[in-house]
Structure 1
Amino acid sequence: MFPIPFSFFQEGSMWYVVYLVQVNGLAVGIWNNAGLDTLNIGYMGVALAELDILIYNIEHSAEASASGVTKSKSDVDEYLFTCYKHHNKIMEFIKNIEAVCTKSILVHYVSSIVVICNSGFHLIMTPLFSGQFIILIVFFSAIMIELAMYCWIGNEIILKSLQIGDACYMSKWYEFSPRTNKILFLIMERSKRPLTISAYKFSVLSMSAYLKIIQCSYSYFTVLRRVYMKD
């Protein structure tokens, strides 16, 4: 059997050539898919790390001044203004991530629904513990993990962006000057709108979206099973 159904060259010396071409094509496709996932998730991981750094810097702004990171307490204004600019850079970076990766994320998003549905349907039609059943289990698990990685890190970006406002409150704002508190207020107001990464505006990457995909795939699966049972 060919890895991919092919009606020609079922016998003879060309069978080996076609088999090697199909195996090579599948390997290249898997390699490209893994590289694209690594690139997208790596970008989002950098954004998540920058949010963690910003949260830490805001929470410890007063301690940074006292420990000599800034020259004096009057320099906290400049220190927090740097945090404000850092926040702007993170927002711009996430917008760039979405501009570059949103189309590929949408392809993963939509194809995952189809693949999860079809894989689940073939699982119930395949004999248990057969070679085909094991291959389907591995493929089904890989798709679920791949989609979960995107949705989890997108959800973490949402949560971390909302924690910036909490970090402003947890800082020693009561020791700061009115001018410094205005900067904190600006950061808090901007953090009320969470930072998100979407699948081409179709859906925001989050754990709730992950559950919706599973529910949607299960709905299609039940419809497909009913049609098959009737036939």
Structure 2
Amino acid sequence: MELYVIRSDLDLVLTNLKISMLSVVCIVKVNTFVLWQSNWREVLDYVTAADNFERETRDPVRKNVVNSYTKYCRRITYFYWALVFTTFLTTTLTPLMRYLSSSNFRENLRNGTENFPHIFSSWMPFDKYHSPGCWITVIWHTVLCAYGAGIMAAYDTCIVVIMVFFGGKLDLLRERCKDMFGEYGSSINHREFEEYVRQLHTIHVMLIKYSRLFNSLLSPVMFFYMVMCSLMLCASAYQLTSAQNAAQKLLMAEYLIFGIAQLFVFCWHSNDVLIKNENMTLGPYESVWFTSRSRQQKDVLLLSGQLRITNIFTAGPFAHLTLPTFINILKGAYSYYTLLRK
């Protein structure tokens, strides 16, 4: 309804579309989390159980891997929440910054030539430019913005932490493969070796099973998000170059940085899991397999074949969630931007 009202103002249309697309992404995220709740519980229960299993180790190398991804998850979570909170403050305070930074705007607002500035461009069933409707609209927009920011931060950090865990699990599996024959100069009997290989196989099968389940939950959302993100980045870049005052430029710049950072976080950690999966396949060959009997070496070959099975996180059926995809999205957004400028 608001788009129909403001259809003649390109800047307002882009602002409305940008916020609307981001809001739809939030709605898709939260509803898929609720609708697929049983599958999400399976993934989270697996991550919890597998993490608890790894934390019981007394091996110093594996313990260091666990501590490393734990600290990293905390840092990335704090960073992302800080980024979302900064975007929330910038978005909600932009009308106030515009009012304080421009004396002409304040004068025009007093004499009625300028409308009351709002956080979002949205239709309201009352007069939103005069009191008390303007203040009701401000409160309503602030609540919606805080709610959406909370949903986005909670969902995204959950996704990223699970990706980091899968990467850490692959590192731990590689370390376990190195120790399948014990240290150089030591020996284990055939029964112990078979039990160890069976455990490695089970760990990898469970890892592939739940990483694929996780990808089936994430892939549709990421495909929808990437399509929306390309358009949002294009609109933000266009408004940044056409903004007339400092407050608008600050908002557009921060919004553009947030969109790029959000997309980069997903692609970077997904790509990191893919690289660690390739490195993990080296684990059996980093053991002292050359001191074992031929029958055990055949078991190592079978295990190596199992470890070559990989799972790549995807964004729908068309794209892998990797750094090349991230670069292609930026290229696409820039192409839309140049088309819009012409």
Structures share a fold, TM > 0.5? Answer: yes
Task: Indicate whether 1:140 and 2:259 are aligned.
Answer: no
2-structure distance, mates of 1:91, 1:183: 20
**Structure 1 residue aligned with 2:320:** 204
* Aligned: 1:16 with 2:135: yes
1:52 aligns with 2:192: no
The Cα offsets for residues 54-109 of structure 1, whole Å up to 9 and x where unpaired, read as 01111232236977xxx934322221221111111110110111122222222322
Q: Which moved more, 1:7-16 or 1:18-27?
A: 7-16
CA contact (8 A) 1:65 1:72 kept: no
Which residue of 1 is the match for residue 193 of structure 2?
Answer: 76
Q: Distance in 1 between matches of 2:332 and 2:136?
A: 40
Kindly provide the amino acid, as one letter, of the partner of residue 34 in structure 1. A
Question: Which 10-residue stretch deviates more, 103-112 or 139-148?
Answer: 103-112
Q: Contact (CA 8 Å) 1:157, 1:195: kept in 2 or not?
A: no
CA, structure 1 residues 94+6, in 2 after alignment: closer, same or farther (shift >3 Å)?
closer
Q: TM-score, normalised by structure 2?
A: 0.61
Aligned to 2:6: none
Say how many residue pairs are matched: 222
Residue 238 of structure 2 corresponds to residue 121 of structure 1: yes
Code of the residue aligned with 1:136 in structure 2: it is: M
Q: Is the 8 A contact 1:41 1:150 kept in 2?
A: yes
Alpha-carbon deviation of 1:194? Answer: 3.1
- Matched residues in 2 for 1:205 and 1:140: separation? 20
Match of 1:110 in 2: 227
Unaligned runs of 5+ in 1: 227-231
Cα distance change on mapping 1:62 and 1:127 into 2, 3 Å: farther
Question: Residue in 2 aligned with 1:25?
Answer: 144
Q: CA deviation at 1:214?
A: 1.0
Paired with 2:206 and 2:266, the residues of 1 have a C-alpha distance of 22
The structure 2 residue matched to 1:186, chosen from 299, 302, 312, is 302
Q: Distance in 2 between matches of 1:80 and 1:189?
A: 13
CA distance in 2, matches of 1:193, 1:85: 13
Match of 1:43 among 162, 168, 171: 162
Q: What is the percent sequence identity of the aligned residues?
A: 18
Say whether the 8 Å CA contact 1:58–1:83 is kept in structure 2.
yes
Q: Quick one: distance in 1 between partners of 2:172 and 2:180?
A: 12
Match of 2:203 among 86, 93, 99: 86
- TM value normalised by structure 1: 0.88
- Structure 2: give runs of 5+ residues left out of the alignment: 1-116
Instruction: Select between 5-14 and 196-205 the one with higher mean Cα deviation.
Output: 5-14
Contact 1:162 1:193 in 2 (8 A): no
C-alpha root-mean-square deviation of aligned residues, in Å?
2.0
Summarize the Cα distance change of 1:120–1:56 in structure 2 as closer, same or farther, 3 Å threshold.
Answer: same
CA distance in 2, matches of 1:112, 1:196: 21
